[in-house]
C-alpha cells in the first residue's frame, strides 16, 4: 500500500545495493538477482561499529544511514517486486522509506 509520509516522520530503514556489501546482506534471486538488501545497519555516529535496526528515522536520516553503509534507500519498485523481503529487523510488515 502506498503512503506518502512526511519526510520528518519516523519510519523504518532498509538499504539496497547492487553488490553484496557484507556477510549479512541478502539477495532474493530470480528477477531480483542484482539487488542486495539489509536492515541491520551501522548508525550515523563514527563510533557506531555494531549493526542495529532503525525504527523511527526521518527520510534524511534514512538516506544518510544507507549512504554510511555504502548503499541507498531501496526504491519503490524494488519493494513492490519483492526484492527486499527478509532482510531483518521485522521490517517486512513495516512502512520503510523508499527512494527514487
Predicted local distance difference test score (pLDDT) of residue 1: 62
Nearest residue to 57 (alpha-carbon basis) of 95, 4, 16, 2:
95
Within a domain: 10: no
Within a domain: 100: no
- To the nearest whole number, what is the mean pLDDT of the chain? 92
- Domain holding 58, by residue range, is 15-93
Looking at the chain, which runs of residues are DSSP E strands? 15-17, 26-27, 36-38, 72-73
Average confidence (pLDDT) over 22-38: 95
Of the pLDDT bands very low, low, confident and very high (cuts 50, 70, 90), residue 58 is very high
Of the pLDDT bands very low, low, confident and very high (cuts 50, 70, 90), residue 7 is confident
In total, how many domains does the chain have? 1
Within a domain: 83: yes
pLDDT tens profile 67-99: 999 999 999 999 999 999 998 899 988 889 998
Average confidence (pLDDT) over 13-29: 96
Within a domain: 37: yes
Amino acid at each position: 500500500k502506498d503512503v506518502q509520509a512526511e519526510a520528518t516522520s519516523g519510519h523504518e530503514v532498509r538499504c539496497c545495493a547492487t553488490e553484496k556489501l557484507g556477510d549479512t546482506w541478502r539477495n532474493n534471486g530470480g528477477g531480483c538477482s542484482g539487488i542486495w538488501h539489509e536492515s541491520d545497519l551501522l548508525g550515523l555516529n563514527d563510533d557506531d561499529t555494531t549493526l542495529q535496526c532503525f525504527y523511527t528515522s526521518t527520510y534524511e536520516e534514512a538516506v544518510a544511514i544507507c549512504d554510511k553503509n555504502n548503499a541507498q534507500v531501496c526504491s519503490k519498485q524494488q519493494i513492490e517486486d519483492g526484492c527486499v523481503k527478509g532482510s531483518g529487523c521485522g521490517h517486512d510488515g513495516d512502512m520503510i522509506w523508499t527512494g527514487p
